[in-house]
Every structure is written in structure tokens, then in C-alpha cells.
Amino acid sequence: MAKAEPKGAEGEARRTYVSLPLAQLVPGVTRPAFKKRSPAGASLMADWVAIVGPTLAARTEPRKLSRAQLTIACSGPVAMELQHAAAALIERINTHAGTRLVERLRFVQDHVAPPAPTLPRHRKVEAMPVAGQPPGELNDALAQLLAAIRGTEG
């Protein structure tokens, strides 16, 4: 004897949803992105300011990493300067990456967008006891909330 499937409002079979572990979902989401840009290349693009410094990062922008060749967009005559310092720049990039990621540099003159502003760091706040509240976890949480609202630093 076959079991009857539970029916929905219109007589359709009900769907059951199962929660999956995040580790099972991540490869399906990241695979298309990693086909376009490798994780090492994405890290290089994200850490560009830390690798080359804020002065150079304001005038350059990494565009593409393919077959150990990094394409860098430059504004103004920076390309000429970087060609002379290419070996040192490649060494800095590879040291930061921890592997031989870049072997050649290619420079193109193009408009370079200014680097994104850095987000402010969270301040540590000092908890102050809340008047009229008995000691305990709730009092501690309220004290931290009150300190954060007042903007006091610890």
C-alpha cells in the first residue's frame, strides 16, 4: 500500500525544504566567480593598497591577473616610473601573496578611480553600571549599550 503525499492548497504535492550546511552551498556560489578571477587574484585586487602603499595605489589600479601577468591601469606618466621599478613591484606582490603569483607586468594608461575609504574601527567602550538594576548579565549588557550610546571610550 502506497503512502499518500500531503497535498497543498491547490492539490499539488507539498515540497519539503531541508536546511543544508553552509560548506555544501559555498562551492556552487564561488565557482562562477573563481572562473573569472582566482582567489589569489581577488586577494591581490583587494589588498592592492596594502601591497603598494597609498601613494601608488591612488595612481594605479590592478585590472587583470592572467597566466602570471598582472595588468595595471595607470594614470598619467606613472607607467614609465613603474616600468623602471617593475622587478621590485613584482617582488612586493609575490612576497605579499606568499607564492610566485606574478612574473610579468603590463601597464595601460587609463582613468584610475580613487581608492575606497577605509571603514572606521570599532571603539572599545567601558561598561558603566546602570542605576536601579540588580547586578547580572542584563545589567552588564545594558551598561555596555549605554556606554556605546554615550560614546565613551575604554
**Is the domain of 102 the same as that of 141?**
no
Q: 29 or 102: whose pLDDT is higher?
A: 102
Q: Which residue has the cell 601577468?
A: 69
Q: 128 or 63: whose pLDDT is higher?
A: 63
Express as a percent the part of the chain with pLDDT over 70.
74
**Is the domain of 86 the same as that of 125?**
no
pLDDT single digits (tens) 63-82:
888 889 999 999 878 888 88
| pTM confidence score | 0.53
Mean pLDDT, to the nearest integer, of 117-137? 65
Provide the pLDDT for residue 122: 58
Q: 126 or 52: whose pLDDT is higher?
A: 52
Provide the pLDDT for residue 124: 57
Measured CA to CA, the distance from residue 74 to residue 108 in angstroms comes to 6
DSSP letters spanning 4-73: PPPB-TTSPBPP------HHHHHHHHHHHHHHHS-HHHHHHHHTHHHHH-HHHHTTEEEEEEETTEEEEE
Measured CA to CA, the distance from residue 116 to residue 80 in angstroms comes to 25
Provide the pLDDT for residue 154: 43
Q: Domain residues for 80? A: 28-109
**Is the domain of 72 the same as that of 129?**
no
Provide the pLDDT for residue 118: 62
Whether 97 maps to a domain, the answer reads yes
**Is the domain of 32 the same as that of 105?**
yes
Instruction: Collapse the DSSP code of 79 into the 3-class scheme (helix H, G, I; strand E, B; otherwise coil) and give the result.
Output: helix
Provide the pLDDT for residue 30: 72
**Is the domain of 69 the same as that of 125?**
no
Mean pLDDT, to the nearest integer, of 128-148? 76
**Is the domain of 102 the same as that of 54?**
yes
**Is the domain of 96 the same as that of 74?**
yes
Mean pLDDT, to the nearest integer, of 82-95? 93
Q: Is the pLDDT of residue 147 over 80?
A: no
**Which CATH number fits the domain that encloses residue 65?**
3.30.300
**Is the domain of 85 the same as that of 131?**
no
Whether 71 maps to a domain, the answer reads yes
Mean pLDDT, to the nearest integer, of 34-49? 78
**Is the domain of 64 the same as that of 131?**
no
